[in-house]
Structure 1
Amino acid sequence: MTSTTVRQPETTTPEPPAAGTARPAWVTDRKLESWSRWVACPATGGDGTMTATAPYDASPTAAVPAGTPADVAAAAELARAAQPAWAELSVEARAAVVLRFHDMLVERQDEVMDLIQWEMGKARFHAWQEVLQVANLARHYARQGATYLADRKVRAAVPLATTAREVRVPKGVVGIISPWNYPFYLGVGDAIPALVAGNAVIGKADPQTPLTLLWTRALMAEAGLPEHVWQVVTGPGAAIGEAVVDNVDFISFTGSTATGRLVAERAARRLIGASLELGGKNPLIVRADADLEQAARGTALAAFANTGQMCIHIERVVVHNDVYDAFKEALLAQTSAQKLGRAFDFSCDVGSLASQAQLEKVSAHVADAVAKGATVLAGGTARPEIGPYFYSPTVLENVTEDMDLCLGETFGPVIALYRASDDEDALRIANQGSAGLSASIFSKDLATADALARRVRAGSVNINDGAALAAGTIEAGMGGMADSGLGRRHGGEGIRKYTESQTIVASRIGPIGPPPASPLEKFVNMGNNQLKILRKLRMR
């Protein structure tokens, strides 16, 4: 490996659990059985199961029923039957269930954080961020849902004689296909607005992280959500995912761009809507006037959060030539300070990759870059002494476009540094590739940074923050441009996308048209005169 200064981060290694003991002690067989009852009832009568692998020690987690496409179809029938009664409740009544869920979640958050860590391997702080986001979304849509969904009066065709309103009605049954990297936030945060809007939901649990979603479904039942309004289906990814798309009225998908295209094509054949948040290769620009310590800290936070397994995490850092060397040293100091470890407490900054497949992909990207001339400045190695899928936070430079790591999404704790001669050069580099999900700019000149942000191809741009600021601003939409997706979660669009717009008009004088026995020419002339008058009055 080519490197001038390879720095390894600190390691926090609590007493490692023996094989098979990564399972939290409070997760008893009885609890697992109680959660599994929330898997949509098998229509096939089969007894197949699936078991994931715990990233901390590669031990099995717990078996859950493995559904079939027939199970999904049966779940959709139950959801469709339950949805009208749920939709007939007022928005406020539906919101009350979500608020109770919010309060119970805050009280019992340690349980779901344990499950997220057990199933996915992330550091506890990053598990808590999922709790924070879901709680904020639950409270937001419970409080603001009625406003987002309120009827909108519009001017009718014939003023005074007619009225017109635009109303929102539920889609019906919404499908949510969420990934393993944020099993709580992405699986539940998208379901909440769909439920508040009056829909039933079919949620597909990722095979890596089904227990987190099942725990949540059980908690939502305690909060008062009717049994069949939110169905959780489990099983092999492709077959179950396709069945979900085939049985719902709208699909919300988060995952890779390649799979997103398939989902969009399948939805299009059924003429149902789709919201897709897909892959990213997110850039961070460091201008010459940036506070370099802040920029280095923000880069490290955004690059290594969730062990880099985050769609909006930073993978490319574009630095002005004048401050490149100073920023590099500051970033390497931040990188070496990251503490790797596996612990169900807050003692570690960076956790494990989620699987052997993730470890192999990250390792392959780095190896390919090094073989083609990239320089490793920090990390660049797996850390099996900590756990089977751990990988050091890694910084490279001299990365070129012929390397897989340059524009291909690595989805791990790896960033590459690039030099820029000025703002135009930085924008050129930042906008390379086909992704357009998230970006960041560090600068003391907020006005200039704002102007640059509008020219970056990204659904969200953070100024003087790495990634969390835009994601946490839940009143504004979040999503991608170009190959990074369609639609938005959060804010008004995040709930209205789960509804249909319906126009209701009413006449106080009966049918609108030519009076009986009146010549049509007279009516046409009246209409033409009206057009001229409205034009002079500057009315629509």
Structure 2
Amino acid sequence: MTTLDGRTRLATVETPDAVPWDGPRLAAQLAATGPSRQWRSAYDEDLATELPTSTPSDVAAAADRARTAQQEWAARPLDERRRVLLDFHDAVLDQRDRLADLLQYEGGKARLVAIEEVLHLALTARYYARTAREVLHHQRRSGIFPLLTRIDQHYLPRGLVGIIAPWNYPLSPTISDGLAALVAGNALLLKPDLQTPYVALAAVDLLRQAGMPAELWQVVHGAGERVGAELIGQVDYLCFTGSTATGRIVARQCADRLIGCSLELGGKNPLLVLDDADIEQTAAGAVRASFSNAGQLCVSAERIFVADRLQREFTDAFLAKTRAVRLGRSLDFEYEMGSLISADQLARVESHVADARAKGARVLTGGRRRPDLGPLFYEPTVLAGVTAEMACYAEETFGPVVSIYPVRDETEAVRRANDSAYGLNASVWTGDPVRGRRVAAQLRCGTVNVNEAYAATFGSIDAPMGGMKNSGLGRRQGPEGLLRFVQPQVVGTQSLLPIAPSHGLSPQTFASGLTVALRVLKSLGRA
């Protein structure tokens, strides 16, 4: 057994390059015949293995297999596709702890964060299974002439949907996005991040066990600039989650092929503490907002704007709760915050803090890596005195670092919160929910949570989620998250009379008659 800190026990690993959770069987499901690449656990760097990478021909062959399977899948009744999602929901809950283990091993997450991601996946499966019939049902639309013109609207699957997945949440949004595409009748071509392949493979394996055709969801493996570009060249629609810089490249590649895409990109999310906020509740919420998943969360808060009246009291409470965060690694619920994902991410966090320090910012707490806990740990860090010339002022850190800024009033808080190239998520804290919703309406962010960090919107699957400005395009979740994976087809059936001069009518008489008809229809209140 491998022991960490004298407390945490991992699964038995007989050799240094062995991976638990039936890793070889999962790896065999990759559409990959290229050179091997090392995978190493963020949780335990002694845990490593080799995985093959996909060649361009692997990606093309995987796309062909998926397209062939998609034709039969789309022909199945919607209720059969819905049943697969419901059975998958149960399988996810049955395998909750196994999936959480994988999330921790691959990403270094704390246990509760991993469990939340697994449950979010199950919730998404149930939501789209329950709502797909209503959202995708055949609809009758109004025709140009009542009784004479019948209009039917259908939804046709796009065909092959590509997903280029992030490392920070490799189940949600990755697999969650795919579930909506799946129930709509599409096939999937997925490229997980190089750092988190196993949990994606495990989820696809559970879908196959739940009744999804084995060839319908293909998984490829490799670097984005090689495998990702080839994937975009094969699909009919793309979902991408990642940085804004890479998102721009992806968007250009999709535009060249005239295919649609949804992009969830970067953020520099604000948290507003209004002058009537409850100090203890807000400080606890700000800790969740800033340090969940070690700040490696698209909707994490990185800027906190505090009303002058509450500045000292809030800061003291927030610092006390930040210092009390239990940092470490364990496969149980002993710790609240885990590690960063990689040495590169650790280096980015350290560089932002060092840059801020060098230019005059104050570190109120944290500001150090913790090699005593593991090679990728960094303390939850709170900065003050951050100014515009510092990298962490406007750039996304994507780590456990947040800056506090005093503001005179609500107006200044809103103005400074909106003073960003990003607009993904925001959090507003107040003793008056009505006031909170009024402030929320002034913020240029795709989601705003009042008296909650991010979970109110993130966990409410019936509501769309996505970014404004440089934070992305499109929406996931809600009906919008399903409708992006289909194309409307309209069928018009005309009876008795054509919509053209006929029966000896001259064009002039036809135009006059059509004009009269339009006036009559308006008077009758018809669309």
TM-score range, shorter chain: over 0.9
Q: SS at 2:382's partner residue?
A: strand
**Which string of whole-angstrom CA distances, capped at 9 and with x for unpartnered residues, describes residues 291-344 of structure 1?**
011110000011110010000001100000000000001101110110011111
What residue is the counterpart of 1:39 in the other structure?
A: 30
Cα distance between partner residues in 1 of 2:266 and 2:189? 23
Cα distance between partner residues in 1 of 2:496 and 2:77? 31
**Which string of whole-angstrom CA distances, capped at 9 and with x for unpartnered residues, describes residues 221-249 of structure 1?**
11111011111111122211111111000
What residue is the counterpart of 2:401 in the other structure?
A: 414
Given that 1:397 and 1:416 are in contact with CA atoms closer than 8 Å, whether structure 2 keeps it comes out as yes
* Structure 1 residue 201 corresponds to structure 2 residue 174: no
My pick for the range that moved more, 502-511 or 453-462, is 502-511
What residue is the counterpart of 1:180 in the other structure?
A: 167
Aligned pair partner of 1:427 in 411, 414, 422 = 414
1:451 CA drift (Å)? 1.3
Given that 1:478 and 1:489 are in contact with CA atoms closer than 8 Å, whether structure 2 keeps it comes out as yes
Cα distance between partner residues in 2 of 1:19 and 1:100? 28
* Structure 1 residue 506 corresponds to structure 2 residue 493: yes
Q: SS at 1:189's partner residue?
A: helix
Larger RCO (alpha carbons 8 Å, 6+ apart): 1
What residue is the counterpart of 1:5 in the other structure?
A: none
Q: SS at 2:304's partner residue?
A: strand
What residue is the counterpart of 2:423 in the other structure?
A: 436
Cα distance between partner residues in 2 of 1:150 and 1:339? 49
Q: SS at 1:247's partner residue?
A: coil
1:450 CA drift (Å)? 1.1
Question: Structure 1 residues 25, 92: closer, same or farther in 2, change over 3 A?
Answer: farther
Cα distance between partner residues in 2 of 1:442 and 1:22? 50
RMSD over aligned Cα, in angstroms? 2.0
Given that 1:19 and 1:57 are in contact with CA atoms closer than 8 Å, whether structure 2 keeps it comes out as no
Aligned pair partner of 2:114 in 118, 127, 147 = 127
The one-letter code sitting in structure 2 at the alignment partner of 1:474 is I
Aligned pair partner of 1:138 in 117, 125, 132 = 125
**Which string of whole-angstrom CA distances, capped at 9 and with x for unpartnered residues, describes residues 421-447 of structure 1?**
011110111112200000010001222
Given that 1:22 and 1:54 are in contact with CA atoms closer than 8 Å, whether structure 2 keeps it comes out as no
1:23 CA drift (Å)? 10
Given that 2:417 and 2:443 are in contact with CA atoms closer than 8 Å, whether structure 1 keeps it comes out as yes
1:93 CA drift (Å)? 0.5
What residue is the counterpart of 2:230 in the other structure?
A: 243
The one-letter code sitting in structure 2 at the alignment partner of 1:454 is A
The one-letter code sitting in structure 1 at the alignment partner of 2:7 is E
Amino-acid identity (%): 43
What residue is the counterpart of 1:97 in the other structure?
A: 84
Given that 2:269 and 2:299 are in contact with CA atoms closer than 8 Å, whether structure 1 keeps it comes out as yes
Question: Structure 1 residues 99, 18: closer, same or farther in 2, change over 3 A?
Answer: closer
Cα distance between partner residues in 2 of 1:28 and 1:307? 25
1:20 CA drift (Å)? 10
Given that 2:466 and 2:474 are in contact with CA atoms closer than 8 Å, whether structure 1 keeps it comes out as yes
Given that 1:24 and 1:114 are in contact with CA atoms closer than 8 Å, whether structure 2 keeps it comes out as no
What residue is the counterpart of 2:462 in the other structure?
A: 475
Long gaps (5+) in structure 1: 1-11
Q: SS at 1:376's partner residue?
A: strand
Cα distance between partner residues in 2 of 1:446 and 1:151? 39
1:520 CA drift (Å)? 2.7
Given that 1:437 and 1:481 are in contact with CA atoms closer than 8 Å, whether structure 2 keeps it comes out as yes
Q: SS at 1:426's partner residue?
A: helix
1:214 CA drift (Å)? 0.9
What residue is the counterpart of 2:158 in the other structure?
A: 171
Cα distance between partner residues in 2 of 1:181 and 1:301? 16
Given that 1:353 and 1:391 are in contact with CA atoms closer than 8 Å, whether structure 2 keeps it comes out as yes
Given that 2:265 and 2:472 are in contact with CA atoms closer than 8 Å, whether structure 1 keeps it comes out as yes
The one-letter code sitting in structure 2 at the alignment partner of 1:184 is L
Question: Structure 1 residues 415, 20: closer, same or farther in 2, change over 3 A?
Answer: farther
How many residue pairs end up in the alignment? Answer: 524
Q: SS at 2:233's partner residue?
A: helix
The one-letter code sitting in structure 2 at the alignment partner of 1:473 is S
What residue is the counterpart of 1:378 in the other structure?
A: 365
The one-letter code sitting in structure 1 at the alignment partner of 2:450 is I
Question: Structure 1 residues 22, 238: closer, same or farther in 2, change over 3 A?
Answer: farther
Cα distance between partner residues in 2 of 1:372 and 1:131? 41
Cα distance between partner residues in 1 of 2:428 and 2:147? 52
What residue is the counterpart of 2:60 in the other structure?
A: 73
TM-score w.r.t. length of structure 2: 0.96
